[in-house]
């Protein structure tokens, strides 16, 4: 999976997903916006994480594969939604009663950003 170079509005993540799945990229964009609003920004943070993880498509060389990244993307989308559902139901609390959902998402995003910096 690659971020789209030609079908992009912000980072090309939805365009890349639209190129692989039998769904229009605009349907995926609208779903990301609606899910971001419903989950109070969790899917917006997921979009930023996917933007960091998924490489940019290039027009100079033919790129193949990427099934692992597609699977990782779908797993992260499902886990973000399930985590939000548990958080909205009152779960994911620390010993003092504080919410751990947002701290966990931010820690995950920071870890991915840190690992990308080490790799680059």
The 10s digit of each residue's pLDDT in 5-32 is 787 888 888 888 888 888 888 998 999 8
SS3 (DSSP) at 12:
coil
Helix ranges (DSSP H) in the chain:
13-20, 25-38, 42-53, 67-88, 101-119
Q: Which residue has the tokens 């996917």?
A: 50
Q: Are 109 and 115 in contact (CB under 8 A)?
A: no
The 10s digit of each residue's pLDDT in 60-107 is 756 565 677 778 788 888 888 888 888 888 887 778 878 788 888 888
pTM of the model: 0.69
Where are the chain's structural domains? 13-119
Q: At CA 76, angle to CA 2 and CA 26, rounded to 5? A: 55
């Amino acid at each position: 999976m690659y971020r789209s170079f030609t079908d992009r509005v912000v980072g090309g993540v939805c365009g890349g997903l639209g190129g692989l799945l039998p769904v229009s990229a605009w349907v995926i964009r609208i779903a990301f916006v609606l899910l971001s609003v419903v989950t109070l920004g969790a899917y917006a943070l997921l979009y930023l994480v996917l933007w960091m993880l998924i490489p940019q498509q290039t027009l100079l060389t033919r790129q193949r594969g990427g099934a692992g990244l597609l699977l990782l993307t779908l797993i992260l989308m499902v886990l973000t939604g399930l985590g939000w559902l548990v958080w909205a139901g009152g779960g994911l609390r620390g010993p003092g009663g504080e919410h751990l959902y947002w701290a966990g998402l931010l820690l995950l995003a920071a870890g991915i950003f840190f690992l990308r910096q080490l790799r680059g």
